[in-house]
A and B are shown apart, each in its own frame.
Chain A
Amino acid sequence: MTQLVLGQVLNGAIIGAMYGIIALGITLTFGITGIVNFALGEFMMIGAYATYALVERGLPYPVAVVPACLIAAAAGYLSNKAFFRFTRNNLVNGLLVSIGLISIFESAAMLLWTATPVEMHFVLPGALRVGDLALPRMKVVVFAVIVVVIVATYLALARTWLGRAAFAYAQNPEAAMLMGVHTPRLESAVMLYSTGLAGLGGALYTSLYSLEPAMGGVYVLKGMEAAILGGIGSLMGSLWGGVILGVIEGVGSIFLPTAFRDAYGLAVLVAILLFRPSGLFGDE
């Protein structure tokens, strides 16, 4: 039993890191620009299908990840220019635009690839074994990549002028503008980066799971939960929020029926919010 639990702690942490990368996009977009992008799951789907399509055309997987992220980011940039920039600090409008985009992107994927799931060949087959514990190698790689990306994002925002400008913009856009921050450009940059991150999440997802057009919906909800659990605005909180959520789901599934796996994470989220309304790592 100990090994079963330990295995699910590790596995949950890895799956949680996937939630974390979406949570990072949500927290960045909402925390800095005030835009609510519920369509981030669709940018993840774009990244995933783009990776799949490029690999199918002969590109090696690690190479395909880069243009896939760029394609997702470009879609995000265009969505911002066309729609999201008009929804700043307006939750309802942001939600409406997101729902519209979800529908458009899903339908487009359906037209291009149909509803039939597609799956890539194993990128890195096999599992790492310690005793009876077996962790697929690719999952370990995915976890490492996500941790590096989230820590790098944190460092970039904490230690660079651009990061400080972003925080200044988040606190007071007018004051930031008066201090020389080009706010429209910054807003676009945040949207570009967050959707690119979602694209990366999708590209990594492709190496682990089969793809279908509706895949983004589940992940954006998990990402949202992770972002709230970690504390909206907290970058490292998004990673921890995702990891905690993943571990709760994994371990909960061992002792409780797996049919209600999603509920375990939500129950813990509600319990934590009762005591820490701004999340585990959010500002009080």
Chain B
Amino acid sequence: MKRVMLLLAALAITAAPAAAQEVVKIGQIEAQTGANAIYGWMSSQGTALAVDEINKAGGFKVATKTYKLQLIALDTRGEPKEATVQLKRLVEVDQAKYIFGPFLSNVFLAVRPYAAEFNGKLLMWGGATRIHDYVGTPGNEFLMRTWNWDAGKNGFGELMVDNLVKTTGAKKIAMLFQNDQGGKVLEDIYVPMFKQKGIEYRLDYFEPGTKDFSAVLAKIAAWKPDFLFPSYADSYLFDIVRQATEAGQLKKFFLVRGSLGPGLKNKDGIEEYIVYVPKYFEEAEKKDPKVAKFVKAYKDFYKRDFPYDQAPLCSASCYDHVYMLVEAMKKAGTVDDPAAVKKALMAMTYDGMWKIRFDEKGEAIFNFDVVRLKKGGALEVQHINPS
């Protein structure tokens, strides 16, 4: 009997820390599948990896308590209605106070009104371009924009276009965008920019789901543009670049979305392929130990090769974001007050794979690369640090 009592006592002692273990829930709403999954799939990978690392290291300490992270990542499939239901679940059922996502503007516009009902009780970290229109405005204090997409003075759009004009002397640009919210966003950003710089432009839209672009490409080629500016997901870019170069119609590309992959795949058909990438990993891995560590961790965790052409999009940045959020909780001394955590985030600069900070509105500012791919695969990388 004495032995049994001792055993029970020992069990109680070992079980006690586990029961006391506090958990911070992070919800995530991203399109992990579907035609525009490239952004959501990669970002959810980076988040899961960081959460795993932090938990395996024993969690993190805020004030006197040690916390672990619990990631609840839901697949929106890029469907706004689905995302709204999922966000409701995360907020009301799972009681998550920190929401990662969404990266898609159409999804963001659908979930924003619901999320705004929890203003002050929620922190939403989204990458969608349309967040630019709301972040920092009254009633939207729950929002922070984790990606310095093209819009805004700290976005990369202006820098990319300046760079294009200065280095190539381009005067005629043909835009070919998907006929959806993402395409409209790009029209809103780039058309005024081209007008202001005196660049002649034309804009064509294609239907979502299009695979054969030969008709529209022929029409564009007849207009003889200096560059084709296609967008916005690799699911289309592979076909657009391939079909444009295969028929020899268009050989110069300028991209602000998508990856280096389509250019590399058609490296013998292109003349020039200029693309925005948050980080050119092939080079960074050799120079920066933090990047090398991340690539190794990714390979070990997912047991597959590192997707160099896609990874720069989101996975690594979301990896940094999880660590950044944890640092902010430590600085704020609370995990339960999103407003205090946001205040800490706004005041800090996180030095991870990127140096990330937020401007006065709550939009992320970080360094990025412009990769210029030439015929045959020769590469030139330009590192840009927004002031």
Interface set of A (CB-CB < 8 Å, partner B): 4, 7-8, 11-12, 15, 110, 114-117, 119, 122, 125-127, 134-136, 208-210, 212-215, 217-218, 249-251, 253-254, 257-262
Contact = CB atoms under 8 A, between A and B. Distances in A.
Most chain B CB within a 10 A radius of its CB, from A15, A125, A212: A212
29 contacts: A4-B218, A4-B219, A8-B214, A8-B215, A11-B212, A11-B214, A11-B215, A114-B37, A114-B41, A115-B32, A115-B38, A115-B41, A119-B265, A127-B246, A127-B247, A209-B211, A210-B235, A213-B33, A214-B209, A249-B215, A253-B219, A254-B215, A254-B219, A258-B204, A258-B215, A258-B219, A259-B207, A261-B206, A261-B210
A4 B37 CA distance: 35
A261 B211 CA distance: 12
B306 interface: no
Nearest to B211: A209
A250 B242 contact: no
Given A8-B218, A110-B33, A215 B211 contact: yes
Contact of A257 (B204, B210, B246): B204
A160 B206 CA distance: 45
A157 to B, nearest CB: 30
Most chain B CB within a 10 A radius of its CB, from A12, A136, A258: A258
Given A116-B234, A136-B246, A253-B215, 4 more contacts: A15-B212, A115-B235, A126-B246, A210-B211
A166 B310 CA distance: 50
| Pairs A-B, 9 closest by C-beta atoms | A259-B205, A115-B37, A253-B215, A134-B247, A259-B179, A210-B238, A258-B216, A115-B33, A209-B211
Contacts of A15: 212, 214
Interface residues of B, number: 35
Contact of A119 (B209, B242, B246): B242
Interface string B34-55: 1101100100000000000000
Interface in B195-210: 204-207, 209-210
Given A115-B41, A134-B248, A260-B207, A212 B35 contact: yes
Nearest to B266: A122
B70 interface: no
Contact of A116 (B38, B204, B246, B247): B38
B176 to A, nearest CB: 9
B57 interface: no
Contacts of B93: none
A217 B209 CA distance: 9
B158 interface: no
B205 A258 contact: yes
A88 to B, nearest CB: 31
Contact of A209 (B212, B215, B222): B212
A215 B38 CA distance: 16
B271 interface: no
A143 to B, nearest CB: 13
A134 B249 contact: yes
A107 to B, nearest CB: 9
B314 to A, nearest CB: 13
A114 B219 CA distance: 33
A37 B218 CA distance: 35
Contacts of A7: 218
Contacts of A115: 32-35, 37-38, 41, 235
A53 to B, nearest CB: 16
A262 B179 CA distance: 13
Interface string B70-113: 00000000000000000000000000000000000000000000
Contacts of A4: 218-219, 222
A172 to B, nearest CB: 40
A116 B313 CA distance: 13
Nearest to B179: A259
Contacts of B310: 116
B238 A119 contact: yes
B265 A116 contact: no
B366 to A, nearest CB: 24
B239 interface: yes
Nearest to A118: B238
Interface in B13-42: 32-35, 37-38, 41
Interface string B258-282: 0000000100000000000000000
Contacts of A260: 207
A255 to B, nearest CB: 9
B295 to A, nearest CB: 18
